[in-house]
Structure formats: structure tokens, C-alpha cells
């Protein structure tokens, strides 16, 4: 009998943590070994998350007393700064790491420190880490020990633009990303701005002067384009729990006006299990991906002009976080990529 992957989760009491548990509990190649939480230590997981009753029998343990070094892989569903404080110990014990926060997303430590206001304590580990967007870095991920799981907004923007950037078909100085996220993207914490009576029946832009996902997106887009990219990125909070919709506006280069962009996208993503390029003329909705690891893309060219409009939807907690992390784990351990991730979106 072959060995199952022994999984540890650090910080399992947030929305990303419970989503990881929901998906990993049914993953055929995984055994959940430990889940830590300083605040909830000694409380059964199913007591905090009743949806996991009779599925997950783990008890939250204190981070100090948990032998995470016994795991094959540890997911960090924690605030920024936690993963890098434990990374060295885990790697020395042969444990692989997937961080769902930002510790291993930005290769430039100065940019990281500017946006996250904490020093980067392991630049050497950062250097060997891989940005965990499987559809772009699959080969590299398969050989990696440390993965920086992408942010939710960056996932939609990068995958939405990859086909045209890889082929150099758009102007790099006028990219606009207008993005909207459900409230779960803000995390599971008590905050006035995310109260029901503040977010319901309300929509607002935020982070217009600067958002910490901006440098992450720009770094990845510039790498795909092999050239510096200028991006205007405006996130919005919309009154729903989960879901994300990003509308991307780009200017087609004069020499690329005759390209069939619909076909280009269909061909680029033809073999990707989690990217669905919609038929020409259609528009994806967030509810079509709810609770699934699917990301749907529609490509439009209004009035046949030189502007390309790309609409991308995903579930911010699945493809935008926990599902993507498991997709990375599957690649790291040589499993079929969609193992444990075949959930169909929930309707209505």
C-alpha cells in the first residue's frame, strides 16, 4: 500500500483554513495529520466548523506543541510573516511548504517590506521559492520545496492576460484591471467594514491609491511580457460572500488587430483542467464557479475596435486560495493535477 501525503495546516481557523479542510478531507491521497491554532487549541475542528462534522476528527493544537516536522507538507493559512518564521525548521526536516500568505510571493524583499511592513527574515528561502500559478509555472512547481500561493486578485488578472502577454500582442503601458470580490476575501475577523449592515446592499472601491496585490501582479505580468508593465488596478468590495469577477481592459497593438483572440485563448488553455474559456459572446458569472476550482474566462472585442475586454471569474476561496494550494500540492507530489478538486460549482 502506498503512503498517503501527511498534511499539516498552520492557522486553520480562517475561511481559507476551513476551505483547505473541506477539500483535503475528501482528497484520496491525503491524511490530515495536524492543524494548529493558538486561540482554539484543544477544541475539536468540527466544533468551530460544523460543516466538517463526521469528516474531520482533528483537534486544534497549539503551534508550540505540534510536531509539524512529521508532515510531508505544511500549508500556512496564516497572517503574513508566520510562514517565514517556521520555514527553515520545516525544510531542514524535509517538509515541503505552501504559504497562502505573501511571504514567498514577491522576489524583491524591499518591495515586500514596503507593502507588508515587516522585515523578510529568510531571503535565501525566498530565492528558491516558486510562484504557485500552476498554469504558468507547472514545471518549476513540480521540483519545488517552497510555494508562494498567489493572491486571489492576481490569479484572475495574470491568467486573464497570460495568452496576450506571452505573444506580445498588447500595449504594456495601458492595462486596466477592474476587480470585484466577495467579503470573505477580507478574512474571518471582526471588523466594522465587513459587518453585514456595512457590506450588504453596498458596493465600494478600496485600495485605489495602492493595494498590496499590485506589486505582485506587476511583477508576474512583467515576467510574462519580458518587459516592464504598467497596470491600473482597482479592487472593489461587493455584497456577496464568495466570488470574484475581474474585467481587464487592454489595447491591442496595431500589428495584432487581425488576430483571432477567441481562438488564441482557447488554444492556450485547451489542456488546462481548471480554466474554461467561454464560447464567443458569452459572459461568465461568479455563481458558475462557486465552491469549485474553476476559473472561467470570456474574451470580447467591443465594436471590433482595438480594445480587448477580458472577463474572468473564480471563487476567491478556492481557485483564489485553498483549491489553488491543493493544485500546487498535487503537482509537487506528482499526482494528477485535479485529484481532490473535481467539485462542481454550487447552484443556485
Between CA 225 and CA 330 the distance in angstroms is 28
- Strands 175-181 vs 244-251: parallel, antiparallel or unpaired: antiparallel
Tens digit of each residue's pLDDT, the chain (348 residues): 679 999 999 988 999 999 999 999 999 999 999 999 988 999 999 999 999 999 999 999 998 877 899 999 999 999 999 999 999 999 999 999 999 999 999 999 999 999 999 999 999 999 999 999 999 999 999 999 999 999 999 999 999 999 999 999 999 999 999 999 999 999 988 899 999 999 999 999 999 999 999 999 999 999 999 999 999 999 999 999 999 999 999 999 999 999 999 999 999 999 999 999 999 999 999 999 999 999 999 999 999 899 999 999 999 999 999 999 999 999 999 999 999 999 999 999
Give the residues across from 175 on adjacent strands: 231
Identify which of 80, 9, 70, 13 has the alpha carbon closest to the alpha carbon of residue 47. 13
Which grid coordinates are listed for 24?
483535503
8 Å CB contact between 21 and 12: yes
**Cell 469528516 found at:** 55
> Is the C-alpha dihedral spanning 289, 282, 205, 198 positive or negative?
negative
* H or E element, residue 33: strand 30-36
Determine the Cα angle at 264 with ends 315 and 309, to 5°. Answer: 55
Which grid coordinates are listed for 244?
470574484
Which grid coordinates are listed for 142?
513540480
Which grid coordinates are listed for 109?
524583499
8 Å CB contact between 76 and 11: yes
Backbone angles phi, psi at 247, to 5 degrees: -110, 120
* H or E element, residue 198: helix 196-199
pTM over 0.75: yes
Supply the DSSP symbol for 302: G
Q: Strand ranges (DSSP E) for the chain?
A: 5-10, 30-36, 73-76, 96-99, 130-131, 146-148, 175-181, 204-205, 231-237, 244-251, 275-277, 295-300, 307-314
Which residues are tagged catalytic?
A: 152
Residue-level pLDDT at 1: 66
8 Å CB contact between 131 and 148: yes
Q: How many CB atoms lie within 10 A of CB 60?
A: 24
8 Å CB contact between 274 and 327: yes
Which grid coordinates are listed for 122?
529568510
Amino acid at each position: 500500500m502506498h503512503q498517503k501525503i501527511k498534511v499539516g495546516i498552520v492557522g486553520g481557523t480562517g475561511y481559507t483554513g476551513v476551505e483547505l479542510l473541506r477539500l483535503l478531507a475528501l482528497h484520496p491521497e491525503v491524511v490530515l495529520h495536524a492543524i494548529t491554532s493558538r486561540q482554539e487549541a484543544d477544541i475539536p475542528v468540527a466544533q468551530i466548523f460544523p460543516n466538517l462534522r463526521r469528516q474531520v476528527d482533528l483537534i486544534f493544537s497549539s503551534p508550540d506543541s505540534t510536531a509539524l516536522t512529521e508532515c510531508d507538507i505544511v500549508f500556512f493559512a496564516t497572517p503574513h510573516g508566520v510562514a517565514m518564521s517556521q520555514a527553515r525548521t520545516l525544510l531542514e526536516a524535509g517538509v515541503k511548504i505552501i504559504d497562502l500568505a505573501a511571504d514567498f510571493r514577491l522576489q524583491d524583499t524591499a518591495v515586500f517590506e514596503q507593502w507588508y511592513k515587516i522585515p523578510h527574515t529568510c531571503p535565501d528561502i525566498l530565492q528558491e521559492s516558486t510562484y504557485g500559478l500552476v498554469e504558468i509555472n507547472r514545471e518549476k512547481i513540480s521540483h519545488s520545496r517552497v510555494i508562494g500561493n498567489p493572491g486571489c486578485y492576481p490569479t484572475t488578472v495574470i491568467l486573464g492576460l497570460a495568452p496576450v502577454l506571452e505573444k506580445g500582442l498588447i500595449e504594456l503601458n495601458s492595462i486596466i484591471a477592474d476587480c470585484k470580490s466577495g467579503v470573505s476575501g477580507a478574512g474571518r475577523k471582526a471588523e466594522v467594514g465587513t459587518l453585514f449592515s456595512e457590506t450588504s446592499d453596498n458596493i465600494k472601491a478600496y485600495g485605489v491609491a495602492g493595494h498590496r496585490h499590485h506589486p505582485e501582479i506587476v511583477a508576474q505580468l512583467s515576467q510574462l511580457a519580458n518587459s516592464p508593465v504598467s497596470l491600473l488596478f482597482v479592487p472593489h468590495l461587493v455584497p456577496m460572500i464568495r466570488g470574484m469577477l475581474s474585467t481587464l481592459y487592454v489595447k491591442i497593438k496595431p500589428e495584432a488587430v487581425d488576430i483571432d483572440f477567441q481562438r488564441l485563448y482557447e488554444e492556450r488553455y485547451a489542456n488546462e483542467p481548471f480554466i474554461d474559456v467561454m464560447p464567443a459572446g458569452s459572459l461568465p458569472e461568479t455563481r458558475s464557479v462557486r465552491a469549485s476550482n474553476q476559473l472561467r474566462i470570456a474574451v470580447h472585442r467591443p465594436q471590433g475596435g482595438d480594445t480587448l475586454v477580458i472577463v474572468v471569474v473564480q471563487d476567491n476561496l478556492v481557485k483564489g486560495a485553498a483549491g489553488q494550494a491543493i493544485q500546487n500540492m498535487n503537482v509537487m507530489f506528482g499526482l494528477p493535477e485535479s485529484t481532490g478538486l473535481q467539485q462542481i460549482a454550487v447552484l443556485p
